[in-house]
Amino acid sequence: MSLKGKTAVVTGGGSGIGRACSVQLARDGAAVAVWDLNAESAAETVRLIEAEGGQAKAYIGDASDRASIEQILGRVRTELGPVLVLVNNAGITGFKAFLEISPEDLERIYRINLMGPFFLTQAAVPDMLAAGWGRIINISSSSAQTGAMGMTHYSSSKGGIVALTKSLAQEFAAQGITVNNIPPGFIDTPMTRSSPVDVDAIAAASPMKRAGKPEDIAAACGFLASEAAGYITGQTFGVNGGRVIY
Ligand code: NAP
């Protein structure tokens, strides 16, 4: 329960990886702000946490919109406390040939996947500086490590997340704030199931012969948020069942 007395914000906390991270951080003692666009799914995550005796509250809004960020963080501070753990998880995927990606496609994916985490981190870091302690965990993608044909807008947005992680880690290392990113490999979530890929065939071809589970990412997230991970910062913490090995 190393996070007892601390507040964690998880964007995209209503589904897949974000839900599993929310549940894990609540098990570790944090009060969790489950932030999602989807009110029903965020409420379900809160229900799962409360059923285990944890503390959570749903916040509904666009995590890439600066006005929503200010408004929701203000409520989180009042209702749960200052934000000491931030999981920038909300994201969208995209599948399009490079020459067919429109300026609107690119702007949308960069806004949600890259600018949102940038603005939300700017808004939350003052809480961590005041406490002299903080954990920022950015959910990137293995596509940023390997490249991904037909997903250049997505993979480049996630590559930005990796560089954001490294730069923030350097900027705040002396203030007790660690910043790491987890690039999920191939995780069985609603996002993956609605993608134009054969989930079961890819899983069968994977070294472990299975897709990852959201809980596989959540375990890494819980560790990176813990006291035990206090000397780990700026790292890319791959969780991919051996699909990407450096
Ligand atoms: P998911 O099942 O689609 O869950 C994402 C959640 O984020 C959804 O509830 C979604 O709401 C919400 N969301 C999207 N945009 C938002 C916004 N602007 N503000 C607030 N909430 C927003 O996806 P997932 O597979 O768990 O993915 C989570 C993260 O992991 C993403 O960043 C993704 O790129 C990354 N990732 C996933 C995989 C994988 O294999 N699953 C691999 C690499 C990276 P709506 O459903 O209402 O849109």
Q: Of all atoms in ligand 1, which is nearest to the CA of residue 116? A: 18
Asked whether residue 94 is domain-assigned, the answer is yes
Q: Of all atoms in ligand 1, which is nearest to the CA of residue 185? A: 42
Pick the residue whose CA is nearest to atom 46 on ligand 1.
Answer: 38
Q: Answer yes or no: is pLDDT of 182 > 70.
A: yes
Q: Which pLDDT does position 164 carry in this prediction?
A: 99
Query: Cα(110)–Cα(108) distance, rounded to whole angstroms?
Result: 6
Pick the residue whose CA is nearest to atom 12 on ligand 1.
Answer: 12
pLDDT, tens digit (0-9, with 9 covering 90-100), for 78-123: 999 999 999 999 999 999 999 999 999 999 999 999 999 999 999 9
Q: Are 246 and 238 in contact (CB under 8 A)?
A: yes
Q: Which pLDDT does position 246 carry in this prediction?
A: 81
Q: Which pLDDT does position 119 carry in this prediction?
A: 98
What's the domain range around 162? 7-185+214-229
How far is ligand 1, taken at its centre, from the CA of residue 138, in Å?
12
Query: Cα(49)–Cα(143) distance, rounded to whole angstroms?
Result: 31
Q: Of all atoms in ligand 1, which is nearest to the CA of residue 186? A: 40
Give 1's pLDDT tier (boundaries 50, 70, 90): low
pTM, full prediction? 0.99
pLDDT, tens digit (0-9, with 9 covering 90-100), for 189-199: 999 999 999 99
b vs e for 193-216, b when ≥16 Cβ sit within 10 Å of the residue's Cβ? eeeeeeeeeebeebeeeebbbbbb
Q: Give the tokens for residue 144.
A: 């940023």
Domain count, the chain: 1
pLDDT, tens digit (0-9, with 9 covering 90-100), for 31-70: 999 999 999 999 999 999 999 999 999 999 999 999 999 9
Q: Give the tokens for residue 30.
A: 């944090």
The pairing of strands 7-11 and 31-36 is: parallel
Q: Are 63 and 10 in contact (CB under 8 A)?
A: no
Q: How far is CA 128 from CA 29, 33, 122, 205, 243, in A?
A: 18, 16, 11, 42, 34
Which residues are annotated as catalytic?
154
How far is ligand 1, taken at its centre, from the CA of residue 174, in Å?
31
Asked whether residue 243 is domain-assigned, the answer is no
Which is it for the CA torsion 10, 16, 17, 23, positive or negative? positive
pLDDT, tens digit (0-9, with 9 covering 90-100), for 130-172: 999 999 999 999 999 999 999 999 999 999 999 999 999 999 9
Average pLDDT, integer, range 172-196: 97
Token pair 């069942």 is found at 241
Q: Give the tokens for residue 85.
A: 């753990």
Average pLDDT, integer, range 18-38: 99
Question: Is the Cβ atom of 190 under 6 angstroms away from ligand 1?
Answer: yes
Asked whether residue 195 is domain-assigned, the answer is no
Question: Is the Cβ atom of 36 under 6 angstroms away from ligand 1?
Answer: yes
Asked whether residue 12 is domain-assigned, the answer is yes
Closest CA to 141 of 17, 6, 13, 7: 17
Question: Is the Cβ atom of 88 under 6 angstroms away from ligand 1?
Answer: no
* 177 CA to centre of own chain: 17
Asked whether residue 108 is domain-assigned, the answer is yes
- CATH number for the domain spanning 162: value is 3.40.50.720
* Rounded (to 5) percent helix, strand, coil in the chain: 50, 15, 35
